[in-house]
Amino acid sequence: MALETYIKDADIVIGAILIPGDRAPKLIRRDHLKMMNKGAVLVDVAIDQVGRFETSHPTNHADPVFIVDSIIHYCVANMPGAYVHASTYALNNAAIGYGLQLANKGAGKVCRENPALLSGLNAYKGAVTFPGVAEAFVGFLRRTPLTW
């Protein structure tokens, strides 16, 4: 497995997989830690979505790290919260164009015209439109086909 080959020499491994509307797999298992160099660092950027490493658990900015089998874990939920000003500007700059399109055209029209916005649509007119989200809530919500 390629992962096992690379983690043997890694000083730092960053887990940041996101599968929208679904849980991503646990890529690093506890037995993998024994293959890694002592003092190596695992950064679980996806800890807000349950994490990508079997040994991860959420920490915070006040007490950000813990050690398992000589491997340092950094699993701070809401990592951008450490840089509130910069992360707010980054998010605003990334989203303003989409927000303006939605404000000027409305959700239905802009999603028909813009595949990027359509791909991020989770609910519309009371219907769950994103399959991964609908499947995650089977029994709670029922997926309804998108109609404009």
Comparing 39-43, 77-81, 124-128, 133-137, which segment has the lowest mean pLDDT?
133-137
CA distance linking residue 79 with residue 91, whole number of Å: 13
The proportion of the chain whose per-residue pLDDT surpasses 90, expressed as a percent, equals 50
| Structural domains for the chain | 2-77 (3.40.50.720), 81-136 (no CATH)
The proportion of the chain whose per-residue pLDDT surpasses 70, expressed as a percent, equals 88
List pLDDT tens digits, range 72-98.
999 998 887 778 889 899 989 999 999
List pLDDT tens digits, range 33-74.
999 999 999 999 888 878 889 999 999 989 999 999 999 999
Average pLDDT of every residue of the chain = 86
DSSP annotation of 74 reads E
CA distance linking residue 52 with residue 32, whole number of Å: 13
What are 128's strand-pairing partners?
123, 143
Residue 29 is predicted with a pLDDT of 93
What are 15's strand-pairing partners?
44
Would you say the pTM of this structure is higher than 0.85? no
Q: Which helix (H) or strand (E) holds 139?
A: none
Residue 34 is predicted with a pLDDT of 95
Residue 21 is predicted with a pLDDT of 66
Residue 74 is predicted with a pLDDT of 96
